[in-house]
């Protein structure tokens, strides 16, 4: 009987553990001896922050290799085949969402290993909740093109798609380019498009605001320089999509 | 100085609180006297489950009205203008993600009220983590059309978009229609498309598997009847999108 692969969200920067991790998430982490991680150094710091009871050097912490073929993946999963539980830790936030850990999870499914996702912080989810930008749907796009002309075209496509489907669009930028991204958003998007800027979620510098582009232009730009930020947009005014049935009566999960 | 609007995720069915809520999330909930909720009855049950220290009947629990115009929204936010902190509770999972609570959050931003999202369970996030379906992006589509022909067309559009952008597509169904949805997925999608079925996340009946459609057809169908489930698909084989820069060096939040 193989072990279970636990997916463990990591802190988003320096935040109070009591705000991030359910007690059982910490208890599970404390019981694990094996970890698959993106970066061994920050994983050791995270495990120390979580007060793992064992000496950190005694834990089997394995970094994801560059090349993730089936053989490498099976090597990572070997402790599970031997009956051990293993934790996957990403750099920040939820593992296997927009990071290479997903391939490990996929291989686990192929090999019949049980995968258990654990509740914890995700800037994408927290940003979406706090934005007030409910649409019929939402989509995360990772990074936008770097070159100005391509970036502006990508933003206009996202805006058009947003208007058509009433879809909230989420994207991120490397933090040292945030100020430039913010300026581009104000220049490229329509006056009525809603933009949420969600900075340093769960940390002491947390700052979240939603305004129309026209209203953002009337304000002092926020300080986003080198501060991890999630951007969300919603363009209203399209033909409304057919009304969704109310899921609540059926206790559908969200 | 107005109060803070706290966004409080609710349990996804009968699950162990220790697995769902960071201690500070519970402490915040216990301090609140005012709540904006989708359904007062289930909110009272949730607050009882969370062992709120005050008699439940003494708490100001206000249901979202059907008509959410500015006047109604300002009525809901009135305790905040008076300096009280208020919690938003949805039926299950994260509030203001695909539920009417988002309009309250949006109005809060318009009125300059601080919004603080709290870490907790979300079936969409947990399902995405556990699916192993990492693409360049992901999108949640809510419910698909009900009529067979429209549903199949919608699925094929999602599959095509998935292949083109390497986008993981998430959607849900009212639980008593899950078995039918599962059968339709096997009939309508390509043999190589990856499908994750994530049932009853965080609950004792939690069951998560990812297989290609061709492999799902070789197995006994899972029991999804009336059991809240998230469906995720990823169609591979398209022209790969340009490689995303590695965000980890910049500690970009995820």
Spell out which residues of chain B touch residue A233, defining contact as CB-CB under 8 Å.
Answer: none
Q: Considering CB atoms only, which of B21, B25, B129 is closest to A94?
A: B129
Long-range contacts of A238-244 (CB under 8 A, 24+ apart): A238/A163, A238/A164, A238/A165, A238/A166, A240/A166, A241/A136, A241/A165, A241/A166, A242/B145, A244/A136, A244/B142, A244/B143
Spell out where B144-222 has E strands: 167-172, 194-199, 207-212
Q: What's the gap in Å between the CA of B154 and the closest CA on chain A? A: 13
Contacts B65 to A, Cβ<8 Å: none
How many other CB atoms are there within 10 angstroms of residue B212's CB atom?
17
Which of A23, A96, A132 is opposite residue B132, by nearest beta carbon?
A96
Tokens of A45: 């710091």
What pLDDT is stored for residue B246 in this prediction?
Answer: 43
Contact B176 A250 (CB under 8 A): yes
**Residue from the list A91, A117, A121 with its beta carbon closest to the beta carbon of B251:** A91
The single residue listed with the structure tokens 């051990």 is A84
Would the CB atoms of B175 and A133 count as touching at under 8 Å? no
Alpha carbon of A183: minimum distance to chain B alpha carbons (Å): 19
The interface pTM score, or ipTM, of the predicted complex is: 0.92
CB contact under 8 A, B253 and A172: yes
B-chain CB neighbours of A210 within 8 Å are 105-106, 109
Residues of chain A contacting residue B244, judged by C-beta atoms under 8 Å apart: 142-143
The verdict on a CB contact (< 8 Å) between B139 and A98 is: no
Q: In this complex, do B141 and A137 lie within 8 Å of one another by their Cβ atoms? A: yes
Distance from CA of B238 to the nearest CA of A (A): 17
Which residues, in sequence order, are CB contacts of B105 under 8 Å at separation 6+? A129, A130, A131, A132, A210, B5, B7, B88, B96, B115
- Whether residues A143 and B244 touch (CB distance < 8 A) is answered with yes
Residue carrying the six token digits 């798609």: A161
Q: Give the pLDDT score at B238.
A: 63
Chosen from A129, A153, A201, A230 to mutate, greatest number of chain B CBs within 10 A: A129
- Which residues of chain A lie closer than 8 angstroms to B103, CB-CB? 132, 134
Inter-chain CB proximity B252 and A129 less than 8 Å: no
B100 within 8 A of B38, measured Cβ to Cβ: yes
* Helix or strand (DSSP H, E) at A27: helix A23-31
Q: Please, are residues B195 and B211 in contact by the beta-carbon 8 Å criterion?
A: yes
The answer to whether the Cβ–Cβ distance between B175 and A210 falls below 8 Å is no
Cβ-defined contact of B143 to A103 (cutoff 8 Å): no
Q: Cβ contact (<8 Å) for A97 and B174? A: no
Chain B environment of A250 (Cβ under 8 Å):
174-176, 228
CA A122, CA A126: separation in Å to the nearest integer? 6
Q: Is B90 in Cβ contact with A139 (below 8 Å)? A: no
B114-117/B4-8 β-pairing: parallel
| Minimal Cβ distance to B254: which of A92, A108, A202 | A92
Q: Taking CB atoms and an 8 Å limit, are B139 and A136 in contact across chains?
A: no
pLDDT at A240: 52
How high is the pLDDT of residue A2?
94
Rounded to the nearest 5°, which phi and psi values hold at B62?
-115, 125
The shortest CB-CB distance from B24 to any of A19, A117, A176 is to A19
Indicate the residue of B92, B122, B134 with minimum beta-carbon distance to A125: B122
For residue B184, the SS3 value is: helix
Q: Which residues of chain B have a pLDDT value below 50?
A: 241-243, 245-254
Query: What is the value of pTM for the model shown?
Result: 0.92
Q: What is the mean pLDDT of each run of 10 residues along chain A (254 residues)?
A: 94 85 96 95 93 97 91 96 95 77 94 96 94 88 95 97 94 96 98 97 95 97 96 82 44 44
Residues paired with A195 in a beta bridge: A211, A233
Identity of the residue in A7, A139, A250 whose CB atom sits nearest the CB atom of B175: A250
Residue of B90, B97, B134 lying closest to A98 (CB–CB): B134
pLDDT at position A13 is 80
């Amino acid at each position: 009987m193989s072990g279970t692969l636990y997916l463990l969200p990591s802190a988003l920067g320096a935040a109070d553990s009591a705000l991030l991790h359910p007690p059982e998430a910490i208890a599970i982490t404390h019981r694990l001896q094996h970890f698959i991680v993106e970066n061994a150094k920050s994983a050791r710091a995270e495990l120390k922050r979580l007060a793992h009871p064992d000496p950190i050097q005694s834990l089997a912490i394995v970094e994801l290799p560059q090349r993730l073929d089936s053989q490498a993946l099976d090597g990572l999963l070997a402790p599970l085949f031997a009956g051990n539980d293993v934790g996957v830790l990403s750099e920040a936030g939820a593992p296997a969402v927009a990071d290479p850990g997903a391939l490990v999870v996929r291989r686990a499914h192929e090999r019949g290993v049980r995968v258990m996702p654990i509740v914890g912080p995700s800037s994408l989810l927290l940003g979406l909740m706090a934005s007030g930008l409910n649409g019929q749907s939402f989509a995360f796009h990772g990074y936008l093109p770097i070159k100005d002309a391509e970036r502006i075209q990508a933003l206009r496509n996202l805006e058009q798609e947003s208007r058509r489907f009433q879809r909230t669009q989420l994207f991120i930028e490397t933090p040292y380019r945030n100020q430039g991204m913010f300026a581009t958003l104000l220049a490229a998007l329509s006056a009525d498009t809603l933009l949420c800027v969600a900075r340093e979620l769960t940390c002491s510098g947390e700052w979240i605001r939603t305004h129309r582009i026209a209203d953002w232009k009337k304000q002092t730009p926020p300080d986003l320089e080198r501060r991890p930020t999630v951007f969300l947009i919603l363009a209203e005014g399209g033909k409304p999509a057919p009304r969704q049935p109310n899921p609540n009566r059926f206790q559908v999960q969200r």
